[in-house]
Amino acid sequence: MLRAGLIGYGYWGPNLARNFAAHPDCELACIADMSEKRRAQAAANHPQARIVADDSIVRDPNLDILIIATPVFTHFELDKAALENGKHVWVEKPMTSTLAQARELAELAAKKGRILMVDHTFLFTGAVQKMKSLIDEGELGDLYYYDSVRINLGLFQHDVNVVWDLAPHDLSIMDYLLGPQAEAISAHGRGHFDTGLEDVAYVSVFYPNNLIAHFHLNWLSPVKIRRTVAGGSKKMLVWDDLNREEQIKIYNKGMEVATKEGLYRVLATPRHGDMYAPVVPATEALRLETAYFIECIQSGTQPHNNGEAGARIVAMLEATDRSLKENGRVIPLR
């Protein structure tokens, strides 16, 4: 039985607590939060857990796992202390505020032989799992583009721009689906209030073989759209996260290219085929992710969303910020 401690019982913490407590191989032994009110809620929901006010549990010798669900700027110190004390670590996204921190943590986890996993929950949804298997099985063929729109009339964050608020979801999904070969980033954005923070941003990510990924991130849209379109040489897909009945549609469509002998030009004509929308399992993503984390610990396997993956996302966020500041300059990712 693994013993887990959770730091941070705010917005997401209760979901983490519920899922770790429900896992048969894990005991939620301890919950830490600075807020008295939240500690009372934690106590009501988890009467068997010890409830504490400070983060000293990162050094508690009785804990095997530390779950870090605190503000981003605290991740580095808490993760580091937990790893140095031999804990396996689950940390919320984004992993850290800087790439240097993320890399240091990934190396520390490797040195200590501990699992460090970044909670990119979306990767464990039925929709993303479905797309991952479609792409890996070659169903789409060679990918041409990956276009993601995540716009909304949103509550502004006070300390981060729209990129750091919304893009960690999309960049981690892209990184999972397309692989870790992203080469460079370019971004444009604008802010419209006296915060100096962008509320609208357009981010392009460049992959080998002319694969281009693009993200529209917007806090000022009157309509809510969460849609990804991806086109490949064989098939194309649309993922509409707000359409619960038909989340993913796969189109047997494409462009037929023929180079006729004696003709100097390429003939490209559209091919229109059937569409199908596979059933997408509705299991709670966090439940699957918790089970995966425990399995990785038990088997000593690296999770795909480990510290390296988390660092790749932070690297892209940093590069996006730099490109935004430098008028869209293309920033290499390595």
CB of 179 or CB of 191, closer to its own copies: 191
Residue 272, interface with its own copies (CB under 8 A)? Answer: yes
User: Angle of helix 13-22 relative to helix 285-299, nearest 10 degrees?
Assistant: 60
Among 34, 160, 275, 291, binds its own copies (CB under 8 A): 275
Among 71, 246, 295, 298, binds its own copies (CB under 8 A): 246
Q: Distance between CA atoms of 253 and 275, rounded to whole angstroms?
A: 8
Residue 1, interface with its own copies (CB under 8 A)? Answer: no
Residue 178, interface with its own copies (CB under 8 A)? Answer: no
DSSP state of 122: G
CB of 12 or CB of 156, closer to its own copies: 156
CA 281 to chain centre: 19
Asked if residues 139 and 330 have their Cβ atoms less than 8 Å apart, the reply is: no
CB of 1 or CB of 155, closer to its own copies: 155
Among 14, 168, 231, 310, binds its own copies (CB under 8 A): 231
Residue 12, interface with its own copies (CB under 8 A)? Answer: no
DSSP state of 171: H
CB of 299 or CB of 334, closer to its own copies: 334
Residue 322, interface with its own copies (CB under 8 A)? Answer: no
Strand 26-32 and strand 2-7: the pairing is: parallel
Residues near 218 by beta carbon (within 8 Å), at least 6 away in sequence: 150, 151, 152, 162, 199, 200, 201
Region of 59-67, 83-91, 141-149, 313-321 interacting with its own copies (CB under 8 A): 141-149
Query: Under the phi-then-psi rule, with left for phi > 0, alpha for psi from -120 to 50, and beta for the rest, what region is 221?
Result: beta
3-state class (DSSP) for residue 50: strand
Q: Where are the alpha helices (DSSP H) in 181-227?
A: none
CB of 262 to its own copies, least distance (A): 15
For 84, counting Cβ atoms within 10 Å of its Cβ (0-12 exposed, 13-18 middle, 19+ buried), the class is middle
Amino acid at residue number 83: L
Region of 34-42, 60-68, 89-97, 263-271 interacting with its own copies (CB under 8 A): 263-271
Token pair listed for 102: 């993320």
Residue 262, interface with its own copies (CB under 8 A)? Answer: no
Among 111, 190, 322, 325, binds its own copies (CB under 8 A): 190
Residue 22, interface with its own copies (CB under 8 A)? Answer: no
CA end-to-end span of the chain: 41
Among 22, 40, 100, 153, binds its own copies (CB under 8 A): 153
Binding site for its own copies (CB under 8 A): 144-145, 147, 151, 153-156, 158, 186, 188-195, 199-200, 202, 204, 206, 210-212, 214, 216, 218-224, 229, 231, 233, 236-238, 245-246, 249, 251, 253, 255, 257, 259, 265-266, 268-270, 272-279, 327-328, 330
